[in-house]
Structure 1
Amino acid sequence: MLTIFFKHDQSRPLSELNAQLERQGFYKAFPPEGVEVVSWYVMMGVGQVVTLRLPASRLREINRIIENSAWGAYHTEFYPTYDYKAIGIGNHEKAKQ
């Protein structure tokens, strides 16, 4: 999985940022077909936080889409992640026995 922080450029109004994203084709390109959107939240004071599920072989593709369509409107941070829920819960249940 990949978690991306899209931090708004707070020096510009939202209408201007949205117009730039539209001009650059952000929502047309992101997320690309075949990539699962696990979550997509607005984080007040930050911007948007998106978690995608995708094969590692597609990381470069996602990076290029962001470079070509989101830069300028957003500052981005990328966090490769993995689903630990089943393991964590399993360890918790095992520890309770």
Structure 2
Amino acid sequence: MQKTIRTLLVSTLFVSAAFCGAVNAQTTTNSAAKTAVATPENAVMLTVFLKHDQSRPLGELKAQLARQGFYKTFPPAGVEVVSWNIMMGIGQVVTLRLPASRLAEVNLALENTAWGTYRTEFYPTYDFKAIALAEQNKANQSLTTQ
């Protein structure tokens, strides 16, 4: 009987240690993700459409954003805003550059502070400007050599 209790106790300790280790690893991963910085190797761009609820007046929408802490939370600290434009009649279009590991953090910031004021749409994007310019230069050089 005592051997069974000891075996059960040791098994419980191993399971508890494994669980605590998993929780600690998850917490460490979340902390590391929140401080990650975008680099050419890990960066993604995300274009977010914030479509206004046109059934409500602008003042009411602004008050709700303030109550929900939208501008305090979005975008999360350290996430780069590439552009933030008003699209008249639709809402706002925001393009962010961030490490892929912070995508869930950006999503939660919007879910917690923008919903109810905006309908959201997300589009992963990438910066094509350098590629397009290189292709244009290549095309122009081939024209001048003909």
TM-score interval, smaller chain: over 0.9
Q: Distance in 1 between matches of 2:46 and 2:53?
A: 22
In structure 2, C-alpha distance between the alignment counterparts of 1:33 and 1:42, rounded to whole Å? 22
Offset, 1:54: 0.6
CA distance in 2, matches of 1:93, 1:18: 46
5 Å-filtered alignment, 1:51-66, equals: 51-66=95-110
Alignment identity in percent?
Answer: 72
TM-score, with length taken from structure 2: 0.65
Larger Rg: 2
Q: Distance in 2 between matches of 1:51 and 1:82?
A: 10
Partner of 2:55: 11
Rounded to whole Å, the distance in 1 between the matches of 2:128 and 2:85 is 20
Q: Which has the higher contact order (CA 8 A, sep 6+)?
A: 1
Residue type at the aligned position of 2:47: T
Task: Extract unaligned runs of 5+ from structure 2.
Answer: 1-44
**Which structure has greater strand proportion?**
1
Determine which structure has the larger helix proportion and give its number: 2
- 1:56 shift after superposition: 1.0
Residue 36 of structure 1 corresponds to 80
C-alpha separation in 2, matches of 1:42 and 1:84: 22
Please give the alpha-carbon distance, in whole angstroms, between the structure 2 residues aligned to 1:41 and 1:88: 23
- TM normalised by structure 1 equals 0.97
Task: Say which SS state the counterpart of residue 60 (structure 2) adopts.
Answer: helix
The size of the alignment, in residue pairs, is 97
Aligned CA-pair RMSD:
0.7
Q: Structure 1: which 5+ residue stretches go unaligned? A: none
